[in-house]
Amino acid sequence: MKYETLIIGAGAAGMMCAAHAGPGVLVVDHAKTPGEKIRISGGGRCNFTNLYAEPNNFISQNKHFCKSALAGYSQWDFIDLVGKHRIEWHEKTLGQLFCDNSAKDIITMLRAEMDRAGAQLWLRTSLNSLHYDGTHFTAELIKDSENIAITARQVVMAAGGKSIPKMGATGLGYQIAAQFDLPVITPRPGLVPLTFADDRFKSLAGTAAPARVHADGPDFDEAILFTHRGLSGPAILQASSYWDLGAPIHVNLNPAGDLFDQLKSQRSDNGRKDLTTILGQYLPARLVAHLGQELAFSGNIADQSDDQLRRICAALSDWQLTPTGSEGYRTAEVTLGGVDTDTLSSKTMGAKSVPGLYFIGECVDVTGWLGGYNFQWAWSSGYAAGQAIKAS
Ligand SMILES: Cc1cc2nc3c(=O)[nH]c(=O)nc-3n(C[C@H](O)[C@H](O)[C@H](O)COP(=O)(O)OP(=O)(O)OC[C@H]3O[C@@H](n4cnc5c(N)ncnc54)[C@H](O)[C@@H]3O)c2cc1C
């Protein structure tokens, strides 16, 4: 069977690409339904983009690589598309846009766009092998236990990363890259809860607090959440993408920076109150009890000198914690690393050394922050490849 373009993976990027790649497109996926990650994303409401998306929100060895695709198909283009399909949405926080109704609306929209473009979709279909003769690809597919050979002028790898193997993530994109001698930046889990070998936070499980957190990257001002195994919550997930094993994360529990002044005025007004009671007005009581032991503070606030209060505020403003691991691909929202962008055209997502082979979405070494950025990368990179294929 002959097709113009074979797209492997009917996730966010693959479906977007199929809608724009012109005639003769076949999309295959080993799953039973397309867009499974879209369906479960954003608690079932899909945080489909971010109002403030810009290249700085993406992690890559080449921070310039994502610019062209993001400019060619921006959050405003996707918001227009969602509007055309009459999908109602709202901003939750920090520019994060969610469907009012259901993430399934986004899948229905992408399916409709694929149908409009005449793209075919084969589900429960996996790739057995891929060969290239210099001008054409031959893919051996297995569909319903049947071997089917497909030839195509273009192959687009849109098989995602390694995150959540239970949902069908296989890392196939990296294997195909390796087959064609394209380097891959070592994949690792991103947007992932961090863990500690001891159970120091067990008694705090379920406690949340606002904080400013960083690892080896920018500050993130969002909530942290203590879990049985360690730390989660949006600020920790964000920082996890910049964290390396063995390094500390820095948690600022005094993000407004005014705790010292607040404590001094409390000392004047409520001197007889216990320091932990006073701190409990600013932080969850269970966390204060934990910190009281770790930082060895006690007594009435009236008993604390300026220096003691300064020491406590400094410790709370840079609470350094060294996780011993992460929850790994089992729960990671994304996979960092991926196909080295040096080997791809930033305009088309095509492999420079293999004409006709494209990589889009999460399998490329471009990873977004939490907050709709990863889907935006899927839409932008899928669109870039689709446009290039249509024009070829
Ligand atoms: C729980 C969760 C919630 C998330 N929420 C958000 C959110 O709200 N906003 C946001 O921006 N991002 C979110 N993300 C991240 C986002 O889902 C991904 O970045 C995005 O789906 C990547 O798109 P993709 O098309 O590259 O890969 P995917 O969407 O993962 O699609 C890859 C497709 O390839 C198929 N496939 C894989 N291997 C093979 C194979 N060997 N043969 C055939 N087919 C194969 C898979 O079945 C899948 O359909 C979330 C991720 C998770 C896990």
pLDDT tens column, 60-86: 999 999 999 999 999 999 999 999 999
Residue 314 CA to residue 333 CA, distance in Å, equals: 33
pLDDT, tens digit, 9 for 90 and up, residues 113-126: 999 999 999 999 99
Q: Are residues 39 and 151 in the same domain?
A: yes
Residue nearest to atom 3 of ligand 1 (CA): 41
What beta strand segments (E) does 56-199 contain? 58-59, 89-91, 96-99, 120-122, 125-132, 137-143, 146-157, 184-190, 194-195
pLDDT at 297 over 90: no
Best residue among 27, 30, 41 to mutate for probing ligand 1's pocket (most ligand atoms within 8 Å of CB) is 41
Residue 388 CA to residue 154 CA, distance in Å, equals: 11
Best residue among 79, 349, 374 to mutate for probing ligand 1's pocket (most ligand atoms within 8 Å of CB) is 374
pLDDT, tens digit, 9 for 90 and up, residues 196-215: 999 999 999 999 999 999 99
Residue 57 lies in a domain: yes
**DSSP secondary structure of 26-67:** EEE-SSSSS-HHHHHGGGGT-EEEETT--GGGEE-SSTTTHH
Q: Are residues 87 and 9 in the same domain?
A: yes
For residue 12, report the distance from its CA to the centre of ligand 1, in Å: 7
Residue 362 CA to residue 61 CA, distance in Å, equals: 14
**DSSP secondary structure of 227-284:** -SSEEESHHHHHHHTT--TT--EEEES-TTS-HHHHHHHHHHH-TTSBHHHHHTTTS-
Atom of ligand 1 nearest to the CA of 98: 8
Q: Are residues 46 and 90 in the same domain?
A: yes
The reported pLDDT for the residue numbered 57 is 98
CATH number, domain of 125, equals 3.50.50.60
Atom of ligand 1 nearest to the CA of 125: 43
Residue 236 lies in a domain: yes
For residue 86, report the distance from its CA to the centre of ligand 1, in Å: 24
Percent of the chain with pLDDT over 90: 98
Tally Cβ neighbours within 10 Å of residue 132: 16
Residue 73 CA to residue 288 CA, distance in Å, equals: 47
Tokens for 265?
A: 């005025």
For residue 336, report the distance from its CA to the centre of ligand 1, in Å: 13
Confidence of residue 298 (pLDDT cuts 50, 70, 90): confident
Helix 104-117 to helix 12-20 angle (10° resolution) is: 30
Q: Are residues 127 and 158 in the same domain?
A: yes
CB of residue 30 inside a 6 A radius of ligand 1: yes
The residue-averaged pLDDT of 366-378 equals: 98
Q: Are residues 305 and 205 in the same domain?
A: yes
pLDDT at 280 over 90: yes
For residue 379, report the distance from its CA to the centre of ligand 1, in Å: 12
Q: Which uninterrupted H or E stretch holds 291?
A: helix 285-295
The reported pLDDT for the residue numbered 261 is 96
Residue 331 lies in a domain: no
Indicate the burial class of 86 (C-beta count within 10 angstroms; 0-12, 13-18, 19 or more). Answer: exposed
Tokens for 134?
A: 């210099």
Q: Are residues 305 and 254 in the same domain?
A: yes
For residue 341, report the distance from its CA to the centre of ligand 1, in Å: 19
Backbone torsions φ then ψ of 165, nearest 5 degrees: -55, -30
The reported pLDDT for the residue numbered 296 is 86
CB 188 within 8 Å of CB 335: yes
CB 50 within 8 Å of CB 57: yes
Q: Are residues 317 and 169 in the same domain?
A: no
The residue-averaged pLDDT of 248-261 equals: 96
Atom of ligand 1 nearest to the CA of 381: 26
The residue-averaged pLDDT of 268-282 equals: 94
Q: Are residues 249 and 305 in the same domain?
A: yes
The reported pLDDT for the residue numbered 154 is 98
CB of residue 41 inside a 6 A radius of ligand 1: yes
For residue 117, report the distance from its CA to the centre of ligand 1, in Å: 22
CB of residue 331 inside a 6 A radius of ligand 1: no
pLDDT, tens digit, 9 for 90 and up, residues 308-344: 999 999 999 999 999 999 999 999 999 999 999 999 9
Q: Are residues 271 and 379 in the same domain?
A: no
Say how many domains are in the chain.
Answer: 2
Residue 223 CA to residue 279 CA, distance in Å, equals: 18
Domain span at residue 73 reads 2-188+336-391
End position of a domain, from candidates 307, 326, 345? 326
Residue 224 CA to residue 291 CA, distance in Å, equals: 15
- Specify the amino acid at residue 157: M
- 3-state secondary structure at position 328: helix
pLDDT at 50 over 90: yes
CB of residue 372 inside a 6 A radius of ligand 1: yes
Q: Which of 24, 29, 2 is nearest to 13 (CA)?
A: 29
pLDDT at 38 over 90: yes
Answer positive or negative: Cα dihedral of 100, 105, 107, 113.
Answer: negative
Where residue 191 falls (left for φ over 0; alpha for ψ -120 to 50; beta otherwise) is: left
CB of residue 367 inside a 6 A radius of ligand 1: no
The residue-averaged pLDDT of 139-159 equals: 97
CB of residue 224 inside a 6 A radius of ligand 1: no
CB of residue 374 inside a 6 A radius of ligand 1: yes
Q: Are residues 246 and 378 in the same domain?
A: no
- Specify the amino acid at residue 180: F
Tokens for 118?
A: 């005449």
Atom of ligand 1 nearest to the CA of 376: 11
Q: Which residues, in sequence order, are bridge partners of residue 221?
A: 212
Confidence of residue 295 (pLDDT cuts 50, 70, 90): confident
The reported pLDDT for the residue numbered 347 is 98
CB of residue 335 inside a 6 A radius of ligand 1: no
For residue 338, report the distance from its CA to the centre of ligand 1, in Å: 14
Q: Which of 360, 368, 346 is nearest to 21 (CA)?
A: 360
Cut 0.85: pTM above it: yes
Residue 101 lies in a domain: yes
Residue 209 CA to residue 283 CA, distance in Å, equals: 7
CB of residue 160 inside a 6 A radius of ligand 1: yes
Q: Are residues 210 and 89 in the same domain?
A: no
CB 122 within 8 Å of CB 26: yes
pLDDT at 133 over 90: yes
The residue-averaged pLDDT of 145-164 equals: 97
Residue 304 CA to residue 267 CA, distance in Å, equals: 8
Best residue among 37, 52, 237 to mutate for probing ligand 1's pocket (most ligand atoms within 8 Å of CB) is 37
For residue 383, report the distance from its CA to the centre of ligand 1, in Å: 16
> What mean pLDDT is reported for the chain?
97
The residue-averaged pLDDT of 186-205 equals: 96
